[in-house]
Amino acid sequence: MDWNKDKSVMFSRVCIIVFAMLLAAADIGAYWLVSWFMGVSHTLGGLRDGYLLMATVYSCSIFAWILLVNLWKLLANIRRGMPFETSSVKYLRISSWCCAGVCAICLLGTLYYTPLILVSIVSGFMALIVRIIKNVFEQAIAMKTELDYTV
């Protein structure tokens, strides 16, 4: 198979669409999802835990939507052949804060459901990775600007 960067970007776009569809399904079916999860979980029980889990799902979902929109915009910059734009740094910064937001929400969620700590740690790491990529982009943009203005 002839794999090139255009196909790679296209694959990333497809992945974002798939994730958006899954997220929309999770938002619509959050009630049934939580009911099913409460059924299989041994530690969760009662109406209070159900409400808290629903609140966690929906508040994380807001960050997930913002994250997906920003990733889509970042891919649009890459498709236009201009990934090293200041707007890309902005999108990465927002993405990083979205991961940090999920990390914080799940950390709070550990008060009623301890295993959420795993999601919190993973999203915290993700926030850190995206933040470092953002720093790399910032540096690359500064270098590109200098190169553009070297005669």
Partner 1 sequence: MEIIVNLDVMMAKRKISAGELAEKIGITPANLSILKNNKAKAIRFSTLMALCHELKCQPGDILEFRDDSETE
Binding site for partner 1 (CB under 8 A): 145-146, 149-151
First-to-last C-alpha distance (Å) of the chain? 41
Q: Which is nearer to partner 1, 72 or 84 (CB)?
A: 84
Q: Residue 43 gets which letter from DSSP? A: S
Q: Which is nearer to partner 1, 66 or 140 (CB)?
A: 140
Q: Which is nearer to partner 1, 7 or 144 (CB)?
A: 144
Q: CA torsion sign, 19 to 20 to 21 to 27?
A: positive
What is the rounded CA–CA span in Å between residue 34 and residue 27?
11
Closest CB 74 distance from partner 1, rounded Å? 26
What is the rounded CA–CA span in Å between residue 147 and residue 37?
55
Closest CB 90 distance from partner 1, rounded Å? 23
Closest CB 133 distance from partner 1, rounded Å? 25
